[in-house]
Amino acid sequence: MSRARPAPQVTGISPKEGVPWTKVTIRGENLGTSSQDLIGLTICGHNCLLTAEWMSHSKIICRTGPAKDDRGDIIVTTRSGGQGTSTVTFRVIKFIKIDILEPSAVWLEEFTTNLRPGRNKIASPLSLRPTNPLGIFMDSEKQISQEELAEMFPGMSGDFTSETFSPIWYLIENHYSSSFSTLKVGASNLRKQASRKDEGGLSCVKGGLGTFFEAQDALSAIHQKLEKEGTKTVEGSMTEDVEYILDKANTCADALFQDVLHRKDKADATRNALGVLQRFKFLFNLPLTIDRNIQKGDYDVVINDYEKAKSLFGNTEVRIFQKVYAEVEIRIQSLQCLLLEKLLETPSTLHDQKRYIRYLSDIRAPGDPAWQCIVGQHHWLLQLMLGCRERFFLQGAATNESVQPRVQFAETLTNAVLSHLPSLWKLWICYVNGSLFSETGEKSDQLEKAKRIARQKQNDFRRMLTELLSVLVKLLRGALLSRSMSETDKTKYVGWESYGELKSHDIARQVSTVRETGEGLAGLDIPADMLVGLQDMILDLRIHAVTVTLQNAANVKQLAVTEWLENNQGIASLPLHFEQHIRFMLQSLQDVVKCKPGEASVFLQESNQKMVSDMCVNIVQAFMGCLEDLATHPDPGTNGTHFTQELPSQHTGGLNGMTASSPEERLLLVLNTCRSLAEHDLQAIAQLLTTHEFPNPNIVLEVGRCSHSQNSNIFISCTLPASST
């Protein structure tokens, strides 16, 4: 006879392993059409049909038994499909029962040990509650939600163990799709279960009725004896014996279990110690971890670990934790000293300084590390500036001979200031606005306190910065403008006389160098009143550059030796070269005279205007004197200024082609040259002075023309007596 349905197949079991009598859920295909169709169920070779509850054609719930094998298949047999197969296995975990005196690696609590052998543990009534009291197919999916059922049956429940149990709720929730005939079968099953429970309880009472009567008789006899003999007699005879027996039992128990309990206490202590080490290994390993991270330079990790340990164990009352935490504090104090040493090292970058200050702030180092760093940087920079001067004095012989030592010193000094003073100023700004410290919310109070302390030290920092700028100005004045210093400062900052005076081009070069220093410091937003001394020094240096250049330009006698040659118009080339000489002088002073932003004009004061005008007049008068010397000193041996003495052979013919010029021709040449100078060259020179913003160019022009008139009269008076003879 062929089967109507395919053979059952088990595809899943949950859980996959467990001890005997574990409740499992079996899932698969073709697991039967009803509970009557299910005729066999084995798990690991053990028949579990008696505990099986058929739920649906794909689900069965049962309990495993004392299996023969540790691992085995789940085989389902049905009338309609026959014996099935399994694609999964179940593993039975066999546990070994340990008695109270049996050695074990783990201590077993007594309440988990069965102290009443041979007696079954009383099960809770709720654990005996059937999952399907009607014994018919239950809906796999809920058709109506719990909220809707609660609205339909207010104050009721679908739990049949509840006092507010509603049968209609239960049927709608679990058997919504069941037919009326199926529900009638479920009602019949429910009646059978109720009758079996009543019969079982009644038979239990009937079978133990004699025992109940015996217990009742014994209790009545004890009660009558107590009433008859009295409490004292009972206490003397009965309770003392009981107390003796209990004491003896206690002594015997101590003798039996003392060694076991001692080992238990020792094992518990060891286990607790290991647990503490494992749980708080962060704290116990922290001293060694801090040492390693300090050696590697991972200060961020050290500080983070310290903050964590402080929050967890800073206020601990446990002695061992206090001891370990004290070791951590010792290492943090060593770290504070190390970071402070690195902070005060010079030279150092602003980035490193800010980093070390933040580290010291995070570990709450005593004092004010940021201010200590500022004071240390100020002292170091001051010594660097003073040491630069001393170093040049000691190494003066080894300096570059092509560059004036004063120039080298000024450039080295300004480079050192521009390299380190901005870092000091920026460090102060960060100190004042609090950006040196952490700005997290929990440290806001510390940040505000640091800002208040910084604002209180503004006058101190201003005094330190003023000292640095004052020393800078005095060192530069001592090297470049020693005559402008007071007698007191000369003894400390002057000493460059042995290196000679600066030339005009060196002074102009230093004007540019000192200007760059002033612009660099002004770009830091340093208060302008603190830079007044440097600006005054720049102005004095510019005036000095103009003065020295004009003094050098007045030495024009050499033009009469090499630059007097005549042109084709009977005019010497001296005026042209004199104009070029003035033009070159003014171009060399162009950058010096030009005002930079924030600078005052060199010619702002009337005294400076008069001085420059007088020096320009002296230059013109010196040139006129040069022409007079050429006209009035015919002797070839007179100071080498006779114009025929250095004249090339191709130009010695004079105006008439003669081999030697006569005095008359020489005077005529000089007169013609003076006339050209007065009419053209002096006007061009005055225009150059105006273009370069020199003061009073008209005075120079007038003085030049007056000198020309006087020289012309002198030359003519000299020529007439000579011609009459």
> What are the residues whose beta carbons fall under 8 Å from the beta carbon of 203, sequence distance 6 or more?
none
Counts of helices then strands in the chain (DSSP H, E): 24, 11
pLDDT of residue 305: 92
pLDDT of residue 231: 54
Q: Assess contact for 615 and 650: CB atoms under 8 A.
A: no
Peptide bond into 8 cis (omega under 30): no
489 has pLDDT over 80 = no
List 92's β-bridge partners, or say none.
18
Pair type for strands 17-18 and 89-92 = parallel
544 has pLDDT over 50 = yes
Closest to 428 in 3D by CA, of 325, 357, 514: 357
CA distance 632 to 623: 14
pLDDT of residue 112: 47
Q: Assess contact for 643 and 666: CB atoms under 8 A.
A: yes
615 has pLDDT over 50 = yes
pLDDT of residue 107: 63
Q: Give mean pLDDT, residues 443-467.
A: 83
Three-state secondary structure call for residue 278: helix
CA distance 430 to 711: 71
pLDDT bucket at 74, cuts 50 / 70 / 90: very high
Pick the most confident of 209-218, 242-251, 653-662.
242-251
List 46's β-bridge partners, or say none.
43
291 has pLDDT over 90 = yes
Residue 86 gets which letter from DSSP?
E
**Of 671 and 26, the one with more pLDDT:** 26
**Of 623 and 36, the one with more pLDDT:** 36
As a three-state string, the secondary structure of 199-244 is: HHHHHHHHHCHHHHHHHHHHHHHHHHHHHHHCHHHHHHHHHHHHHH
CA distance 116 to 531: 100
657 has pLDDT over 70 = no
419 has pLDDT over 80 = yes
pLDDT bucket at 646, cuts 50 / 70 / 90: very low
What percent of the chain has a predicted confidence (pLDDT) above 70? 75
397 has pLDDT over 60 = no
Per-residue model confidence as pLDDT tens digits over 684-724: 777 778 877 787 777 777 776 676 666 666 555 655 554 44
Q: Assess contact for 553 and 582: CB atoms under 8 A.
A: yes
Helix residue spans in 555-650 (DSSP H): 559-562, 574-588, 590-593, 606-632
Amino acid type, 583: R
What percent of the chain has a predicted confidence (pLDDT) above 90? 20
Per-residue model confidence as pLDDT tens digits over 37-68: 999 999 988 889 988 999 999 999 999 988 76
587 has pLDDT over 60 = yes
118 has pLDDT over 60 = no
pLDDT of residue 595: 85
> What are the residues whose beta carbons fall under 8 Å from the beta carbon of 93, sequence distance 6 or more?
17, 18, 19
- Look-up: residue for tokens 């009337």? 606
Q: Assess contact for 607 and 693: CB atoms under 8 A.
A: no
168 has pLDDT over 70 = yes
Tell me, rounded to whole angstroms, the distance of Cα 214 from its chain centroid: 87
pTM of the model: 0.59
91 has pLDDT over 60 = yes
Tokens of 146: 């719990």
pLDDT of residue 710: 63
CA distance 528 to 522: 7
Per-residue model confidence as pLDDT tens digits over 506-532: 888 888 899 999 889 988 888 888 988
610 has pLDDT over 70 = yes
Least confident range of 258-262, 571-575, 611-615: 571-575
Q: Assess contact for 703 and 621: CB atoms under 8 A.
A: yes
pLDDT of residue 679: 65
pLDDT of residue 303: 92
Least confident range of 235-244, 299-308, 317-326, 479-488: 235-244
> What are the residues whose beta carbons fall under 8 Å from the beta carbon of 205, sequence distance 6 or more?
none
pLDDT of residue 108: 60
- Superfamily, domain 1-96: Immunoglobulins (2.60.40.10)
pLDDT of residue 159: 77
**Of 563 and 106, the one with more pLDDT:** 106
Average pLDDT value over all residues in the chain: 78
Per-residue CA distances from 313 to 12, 294, 309 (Å): 51, 21, 6
List 77's β-bridge partners, or say none.
40, 83
Length of the chain: 725
Per-residue CA distances from 428 to 451, 520, 604 (Å): 11, 17, 37
User: Cβ atoms within 10 A of the Cβ of 90, count?
Assistant: 25
CA distance 412 to 475: 12
Closest to 351 in 3D by CA, of 454, 415, 435, 453: 435
User: Cβ atoms within 10 A of the Cβ of 498, count?
Assistant: 8
